[in-house]
A = this chain, B = another copy of it.
Amino acid sequence: MADRLEAPPRARLSRDRVLTAAVSLADEIGLDALSMRRLADELDVVPMALYKHVADKEDLLDGMVEVLVREIELPPAGLGWRTGVRRRVLSARRELLRHPWGRQAIESRKRKTPAVLEYMDSLIGLFLADGFSADLTHHVMHAIGGRMWGFTQEVFEEPPAASTSGRPAMPTPISAAEFEQLTQHFPNIATMAAVAQHDDGTVVARGCDDQFEFEFALDLMLDGIERLHRNGWTPADAELTPR
């Protein structure tokens, strides 16, 4: 309504402005809907103007991932590997919840950009500082895998009955008829789902608490790593892998 001071005819473009706009546009409309043309619209600019600031769409995505990864908190040093790893991973998960496009974007990158390498370097540093061998560090970094970026390993979610609407994957209370169907064809899923749905006094009462499942799996992995480290794992142990 009133005249604004910034943006007289139009604000000047820059890589930062392009990336920031891309990040919040992706937050809004999702990664699949994010196109160079749509982004240009948002910036009140013709599509080709973007190409002065990003090489192409791949470079745009690289830049968006950089922005996201730099937001992962690095806690103070000296907390020990387990706490250090745990806090980084939980912070990464928080970023991914704020930027739901993050997983797809990170997974589709082929070149590791500086912020990505820095983050991995800091994780590796935690293990090495606490006396993990380079070998063991290597293997546990692989074992942590996507969880270092806060990826939930799902592909699983609720039993069936997906959310028809855009986002909100509600606790999905299924109807009696659907449950009957489920019991018939997938009795084991039904048995498992029944507990997660009914039960009211236990931890699982919250239906399916994503944060709980995430930490459950994370701690299972950290427990395993701690045990290997405490037992002085060496490459030789790998030969006599169980089974």
Contacts and interface: CB of A to CB of B under 8 A. Distances in A.
A46 interface: no
Contacts of A82: 243
Mostly helix, strand, loop or mixed at chain A's interface?
Answer: helix
Interface of A: 82-83, 86, 104, 106-107, 110-112, 114, 117-118, 120-122, 124-125, 128, 133-135, 137-139, 141-149, 151-156, 159-160, 162-163, 185-189, 191-192, 194-196, 199, 202-204, 208, 212-213, 215-217, 219-221, 223-225, 227-228, 235-236, 238-239, 241-243
Given A134-B191, A135-B195, A219-B241, 9 more contacts: A111-B162, A120-B189, A122-B188, A124-B188, A128-B188, A128-B191, A145-B154, A145-B155, A146-B154
Contacts of A202: 135, 235-236
A215 B241 CA distance: 9
A159 B163 CA distance: 39
A224 to B, nearest CB: 4
A243 B213 contact: no
Contact of A220 (B146, B159, B194, B221): B221
A134 B192 contact: yes
13 contacts: A112-B160, A117-B160, A117-B189, A121-B185, A134-B194, A134-B195, A135-B204, A139-B216, A142-B213, A143-B213, A148-B156, A216-B241, A224-B224
Contact of A224 (B106, B137, B221): B221
Given A220-B143, A239-B203, A195 B156 contact: no
User: Which 8 residue pairs spanning A and B have beta carbons closest together?
Assistant: A145-B153, A143-B217, A134-B195, A124-B188, A142-B213, A125-B188, A121-B186, A202-B235
A74 to B, nearest CB: 13
Contacts of A185: 114, 117-118, 121
